[in-house]
Amino acid sequence: MTTPTTSKSILRRGVVIAGVATLGIGLAAGIADGALISARNAFAQPIQLSGVQTQLPSFADVVEKVKPAVVSVRVKTRVAAASAEDGEGGVQGLPPGHPLERFFRRYGEENQRPGRPQPRQGMSQGSGFFVSQDGYVVTNNHVVQNAAEVQLVTDDGRTMDAKVVGTDPRTDLALLKVDDGASHPYVLLAKGKPRIGDWVMAVGNPFGLGGTVTAGIVSAQGRDLRSGPYDDYIQIDAAVNRGNSGGPTFNLKGEVVGVNTAIFSPSGGNVGIAFAIPANTVETVVAALKEHGSVARGFIGVQIQPVTDEVADAIGLRQARGALVAEAQPDGPAAKAGIRRGDTIVAVNGEAIADARALTRKIGGFAPGTKTTITVWRDGREREISFEIGRQPAA
């Protein structure tokens, strides 16, 4: 006999089944809670990775060694100033017709004797570093330009007076000298260029915060900023800001690989693109400034332009190389030796010239009076022309 199943029994059975299911969920939740508690207990202890060695270098030992040789450079400048109308766009740099223009003009007239504009004094700051025990210091030319007084502040807070020995605006370098008879900590210039990807460290005085250390890598070589004919900058991504100018960039041996001189920045602050003058350029310029107070560069008296692929095809060169002579100055050494417009200079003393910039740097590196042989491409063949390098005009 079959017992009919009532809705109540189905309901009761459903309750039992539901109860079992509920119990199962509770057990599962209990297990999960236990696992979570265990996990929390596991993370309650500090994470320690025994036996694991980091691959990134520490700069601490290098910093301790080189930091005493880096100084902050404080400069008082004297600038001939002004009549009330000086300045771009009008008085005090205001646009013509600005509501404050009359006020500044009147204020300036009241604070100047008639007909005798008073000189203005300004302040600038940068960085530098000792390159000799007897007190020679390297910095940027733009840091000490128009300097009336120069003071150096050491890492331990001492202040000392310095004089400008010489400057070289073409490479933006300057040499200072401290004549206090003391023995100063100094650093060495690296003999070769760093490789792209090498670690470097910048030390300087950004925003007046002396003794600041930043680190990064060499991100490019041979940068041309169009700031001068001898541009050959090292690009680094170590943080460099205003006030770092003239400060050194070191390799991991504590050698100076470059002098920080410029940044690329839409905002005026660090965006990871900074430029340093290579140590080999610094060495040459410093030696000349120390001996003569200025740099005498070679000069051949030609205007040159790059050799493009189209130009190379037109003159019969297999590849674009060398520097095309656009004009030879009539009284210049090159013209006197027979170099003329349309010649392409492809080698100097047997060394191939890659482009116009390379030729400029090569000739500029010769001392005036040096006997030189230049190879030119003319009428489909190479010709060698020998002559004496002249002296580059000061202007």
Look up the CATH number of the domain holding residue 362.
2.30.42.10
Residue 36 lies in a domain: no
| Number of domains the chain is built from | 3
The answer to whether residue 292 is catalytic is no
In a shared domain, residues 165 and 96: yes
Residue 16: predicted pLDDT: 34
In a shared domain, residues 288 and 306: no
Active-site residue, selected from the candidate residues 72, 124, 142, 343? 142
The answer to whether residue 172 is catalytic is yes
Instruction: List the chain pLDDT tens, one digit each, 395 residues.
Output: 444 443 333 333 333 323 333 334 343 444 445 554 554 555 556 665 555 555 677 999 999 999 999 999 999 987 665 444 433 444 445 555 555 555 445 444 444 445 555 566 788 899 999 999 999 999 999 999 999 999 999 999 999 999 999 999 999 999 999 999 999 999 999 998 999 999 999 999 999 999 999 999 999 998 988 777 778 899 999 999 999 999 999 999 999 999 999 999 888 888 999 999 999 999 999 999 999 999 988 999 999 999 999 999 999 999 999 999 999 999 899 999 999 999 999 999 999 999 998 898 899 888 899 999 999 999 999 999 998 999 988 76
Report the C-alpha gap between 175 and 160 in whole angstroms.
Answer: 15
In a shared domain, residues 286 and 302: no
For residue 241, the enclosing domain spans 199-292
Residue 35 lies in a domain: no
The answer to whether residue 245 is catalytic is yes
In a shared domain, residues 171 and 74: yes
Residue 275 lies in a domain: yes
In a shared domain, residues 334 and 383: yes
Report the C-alpha gap between 331 and 309 in whole angstroms.
Answer: 31
Point out the domain boundary residue: 147, 177, 207. Answer: 177
Residue 128 lies in a domain: yes
Active-site residue, selected from the candidate residues 72, 124, 127, 245? 245
Residue 150: predicted pLDDT: 97
Residue 317: predicted pLDDT: 92
Residue 94 CB-density burial (10 A; 0-12 exposed, 13-18 middle, 19+ buried):
middle
Beta strands in 55-131 (DSSP E): 70-79, 120-130
In a shared domain, residues 284 and 305: no
Active-site residue, selected from the candidate residues 72, 124, 172, 232? 172
Helix (H) or strand (E) holding 218: strand 212-223
In a shared domain, residues 220 and 302: no
